[in-house]
Amino acid sequence: GSHSELEDTAPRIVEHPTDLLVSKGEPATLSCKAEGRPAPAVEWYKDGERVETDREDPRSHRTLLPGGSLFFLRILHGRRGKPDEGVYVCVARNYLGEATSRNASLEVAGE
């Protein structure tokens, strides 16, 4: 078959993140996989705010994996707050539209 048969499609989430309970300082991965044509760009939002990853800040402890999952080198958790704790969603976009995953909460286990 020729490529002309392949129509562009809006993104859809094929793997959703699930709730995580992580110990402080441990690595964690929030899964997300999206399909679409052209391949959608994935962004993460935490409590409604866009999550910065090492693409925006090379010093970030959060990495956007090639498939769209969000990887934490280690869960940050200080006396002044829990910067990684919250409710995450993954959003996949291409020019035809966007798809939003289910909410996944990340909790940091007690001391």
CATH code for the domain in which residue 58 is found: 2.60.40.10
Average pLDDT value for the chain: 93
Residue 33 lies in a domain: yes
Instruction: Report CA-CA distances (Å) from 104 to 7, 17, 44, 47, 55.
Output: 31, 6, 11, 10, 22
Residue 83 lies in a domain: yes
pTM for this predicted structure: 0.89
Residue 4 lies in a domain: no
Domain that holds residue 84: 9-108
Taking the C-alpha atoms of residue 74 and residue 92, their distance in angstroms, rounded to an integer, is 24
Which residue do the tokens 């693409």 mark?
55
Residue 2 lies in a domain: no
Total domains in the fold of the chain: 1
Residue 96 lies in a domain: yes
Taking the C-alpha atoms of residue 95 and residue 100, their distance in angstroms, rounded to an integer, is 15
Q: Strand 41-46 vs strand 49-50: parallel, antiparallel, or unpaired?
A: antiparallel
What pLDDT digit, counting tens, does each position of 3-15 carry? 667 899 999 999 9
Q: With a cut of 70, which residues of the chain have pLDDT below it?
A: 1-4, 111
Residue 22 lies in a domain: yes
Residue 45 lies in a domain: yes
